[in-house]
């Protein structure tokens, strides 16, 4: 199947962003070079038993030193956009603007300038999981002061790079970060504090995001003309038994506890979803929990999150069937609050990592859901991808099939359903450090040879084909400095 035959030339609107994404800790390496401070991921990986085979991002793809190799990959794909993240502790080693690391600033200036010179628009994420360790030592995302510290960091970045960066993401995947970092302990900082910290962390991330958006709006937008959002991850979920009202409402809860948790305050009401609030309240009564509200309230004295996104940034990977559950009833936990159990449809193939069922059609459904539920926003798909584990296949036919199917679904969402999808970023430019999975899960459009110091990048079949699609569909954009 050739995408060019299937997709009419007008399916993707003028200026559609054809992108690929990465994140600092997953690619940069040089974890303590040139004045960089440690992040919570450095600490987490250096403790044994956290990551597959105790691997770390100490070297990763060495993009800090091999940026020009990455640039060649970006150019070879013909991307119009590249999503990268800034390492907060490379720029501000202790997380605050008390000391700014000039080498960190120089590195990102070069990356951004090289992208612009190659007519590639950067989309820059301020925090992709790697909180500075110095801030973690002061309470990290659990501490209320983090919102102001993040806001100062964001303002510093807007001021330093915003003449060239026009697309900003404040926080990447608050759901994943809060859930895996503070509830399950699977990600840094590795805390297991079920049913409590997860909501506090999510809340402080929303406060941090809102403050940064308001700062941009008040001080930078009129000068720089950019856009700011927060990248939200979500599965698409359907009831296991659509005729069972309990499964139907469990599915609604499932979506609200993942996506609505953040999207409802930002795009709908300025507050958490009603279903989430009532469910957590009811569980507090049921479990006799009385140590204050677990789901914090937004204060009237701070900028409200409502309206603090100039576009919807969506990371979509997979889908789930959901049934109502009464297990976890007696324990305080996020899952108990959510009251939903997930089931994998046996017809869905799994790619690489166990959680990744391949369901491209779920993306179209999710895009429609977002259109209906969150007031028809412009949507950038800021991540979507397919992993391989095991013997490397440079001819990654299945991955390319996945991308073709996915892009078909996106084009149908745009053309047939009228969803305003403004861009698509493949995860990821090249194989990299896949968090707790280490290097064994490969998501790249380029293969990286981690067995040799050169860390050679080689294009996969999927990368070649993606480049061909981009060259047929891309519209040239003019990038101007403000």
Least Å from the CB of residue 17 to ligand NOJ: 17
How many angstroms separate the CA atoms of 448 and 451, rounded?
A: 9
Position among 3, 7, 17, 23 found at the interface with ligand NOJ (CB under 6 A): 23
**Checking DSSP bridges between strand 319-324 and strand 340-343, what pairing results, if any?**
antiparallel
Least Å from the CB of residue 84 to ligand NOJ: 12
End-to-end Cα distance, the chain: 43
The answer to whether 383 is a known catalytic residue is yes
Least Å from the CB of residue 230 to ligand NOJ: 12
| Cβ distance to ligand NOJ smaller for residue 234 or 411 | 234
Residue of 136, 183, 383, 409 marked active site: 383
From residue 296 to residue 335, the character string flagging contacts with ligand NOJ as x (rule: CB under 6 A) and all else as - is -------------------x--------------------
| Cβ distance to ligand NOJ smaller for residue 215 or 462 | 462
**Tokens matching residue 177:** 């970060």
Position among 434, 445, 455, 470 found at the interface with ligand NOJ (CB under 6 A): 434
| Cβ distance to ligand NOJ smaller for residue 81 or 155 | 81
Position among 383, 409, 431, 465 found at the interface with ligand NOJ (CB under 6 A): 383
How many angstroms separate the CA atoms of 401 and 403, rounded?
A: 5
| Cβ distance to ligand NOJ smaller for residue 250 or 358 | 358
Angle at 220 between CA 216 and CA 221, to 5 degrees: 80
b (16+ CB within 10 A) / e for 429-448: bbbbbbbbbbbbbbbbbbbb
| Cβ distance to ligand NOJ smaller for residue 168 or 443 | 443
| Cβ distance to ligand NOJ smaller for residue 21 or 191 | 21
Footprint (CB under 6 A) of ligand NOJ, residues 440-479? 443
**Tokens matching residue 305:** 């999150």
Least Å from the CB of residue 26 to ligand NOJ: 6
How many angstroms separate the CA atoms of 12 and 414, rounded?
A: 7
Which position has the token pair 């250096």? 46
Contact (Cβ atoms closer than 8 angstroms) between residue 428 and residue 443: yes
CA distances from 89 to 102, 111, 208 (A): 12, 17, 17
How many angstroms separate the CA atoms of 443 and 283, rounded?
A: 39
Position among 172, 215, 324, 406 found at the interface with ligand NOJ (CB under 6 A): 172
What phi-psi label fits residue 455: left (phi over 0), alpha (psi between -120 and 50 degrees) or beta? left
Least Å from the CB of residue 41 to ligand NOJ: 11
| Cβ distance to ligand NOJ smaller for residue 7 or 314 | 314
Least Å from the CB of residue 298 to ligand NOJ: 25
Alpha helices, H only, 266-354: 274-287, 334-338
β-pair partners for 442:
388
Count the site residues for ligand NOJ by CB under 6 A. 9
Footprint (CB under 6 A) of ligand NOJ, residues 388-427? 427
Least Å from the CB of residue 385 to ligand NOJ: 6
Position among 130, 173, 235, 409 found at the interface with ligand NOJ (CB under 6 A): 173
Q: How many CB atoms lie under 10 A from the CB of residue 43?
A: 16
| Cβ distance to ligand NOJ smaller for residue 315 or 462 | 315
Least Å from the CB of residue 111 to ligand NOJ: 18
Instruction: Give the residue among 372, 88, 380, 82 at the shortest CA–CA distance from 227.
Output: 380
**Tokens matching residue 173:** 């995947």
The length of the chain, given as a count of residues: 482
How many angstroms separate the CA atoms of 225 and 229, rounded?
A: 14
Least Å from the CB of residue 181 to ligand NOJ: 13
Which position has the token pair 């995001």? 209
How many angstroms separate the CA atoms of 429 and 123, rounded?
A: 14
What dihedral do alpha carbons 467, 121, 35, 72 form, nearest 10°? Answer: 30
Does residue 125 touch ligand NOJ according to CB under 6 A? no
Which position has the token pair 């009564």? 285
Rg (CA), the chain: 21
| Cβ distance to ligand NOJ smaller for residue 99 or 355 | 355
Interface contacts to ligand NOJ, rule CB under 6 A: 23, 26, 172-173, 315, 383, 427, 434, 443
Which active-site residues does the annotation give? 383
């Amino acid at each position: 199947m050739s995408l060019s035959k299937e997709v009419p030339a007008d399916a993707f609107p003028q200026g559609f962003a054809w992108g690929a994404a990465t994140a600092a800790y997953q690619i940069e390496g040089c974890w303590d070079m040139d004045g960089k401070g440690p992040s919570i991921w450095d600490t987490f990986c250096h403790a044994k038993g956290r990551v597959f085979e105790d691997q770390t991002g100490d070297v990763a793809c060495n993009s800090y030193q091999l940026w020009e190799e990455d640039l060649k990959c970006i150019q070879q794909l013909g991307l119009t956009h590249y999503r990268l993240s800034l390492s907060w502790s490379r720029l501000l080693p202790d997380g605050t603007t008390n000391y700014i690391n000039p080498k960190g600033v120089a590195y990102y200036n070069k990356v951004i300038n090289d992208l612009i010179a190659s007519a590639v628009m950067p989309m820059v994420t301020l925090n992709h999981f790697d909180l500075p360790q110095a801030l973690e030592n002061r309470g990290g995302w659990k501490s209320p002061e983090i919102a102001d510290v993040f806001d100062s960091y964001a303002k510093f970045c807007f001021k330093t790079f915003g003449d060239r960066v026009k697309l900003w993401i404040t926080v990447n995947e608050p759901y994943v970060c809060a859930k895996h970092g503070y509830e399950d302990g699977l990600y840094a900082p590795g805390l297991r504090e079920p049913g409590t910290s997860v909501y506090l962390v999510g809340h402080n991330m929303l406060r941090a995001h809102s403050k940064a958006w308001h700062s941009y709006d008040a001080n930078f937008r009129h000068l720089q003309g950019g856009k700011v959002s927060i990248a939200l991850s979500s599965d698409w979920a359907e009831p296991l038994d659509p005729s069972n009202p309990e499964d139907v409402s469990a599915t609604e809860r499932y979506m609200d506890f993942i996506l609505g948790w953040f999207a409802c305050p930002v795009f709908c009401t300025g507050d958490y979803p009603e279903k989430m609030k009532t469910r957590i309240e009811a569980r507090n009564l049921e479990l006799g929990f009385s140590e204050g509200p677990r789901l914090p309230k937004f204060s009237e004295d701070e900028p409200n999150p409502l309206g603090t996104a100039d576009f919807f940034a969506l990371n979509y990977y997979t889908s789930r069937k959901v049934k109502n559950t009464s297990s976890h009833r007696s324990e305080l936990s996020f899952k108990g609050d959510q009251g939903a159990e997930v089931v994998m449809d046996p017809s869905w193939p799994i790619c690489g990592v166990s959680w990744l069922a391949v369901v491209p059609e779920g993306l179209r459904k999710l895009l429609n859901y977002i259109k209906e539920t969150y007031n028809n926003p412009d949507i950038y798909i800021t991540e979507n991808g397919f992993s391989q584990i095991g013997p490397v296949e440079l001819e990654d036919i299945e991955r390319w099939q996945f991308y073709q199917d996915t892009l078909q679904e996106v084009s149908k969402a745009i053309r047939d359903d009228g969803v305003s999808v403004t861009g698509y970023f493949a995860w990821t430019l090249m194989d990299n450090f896949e968090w707790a999975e280490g290097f064994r899960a490969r998501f790249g459009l380029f293969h990286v040879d981690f067995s040799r110091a050169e860390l050679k990048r080689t294009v996969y079949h999927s990368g070649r084909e993606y480049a061909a699609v981009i060259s047929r569909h891309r519209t040239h954009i003019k990038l101007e400095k403000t």
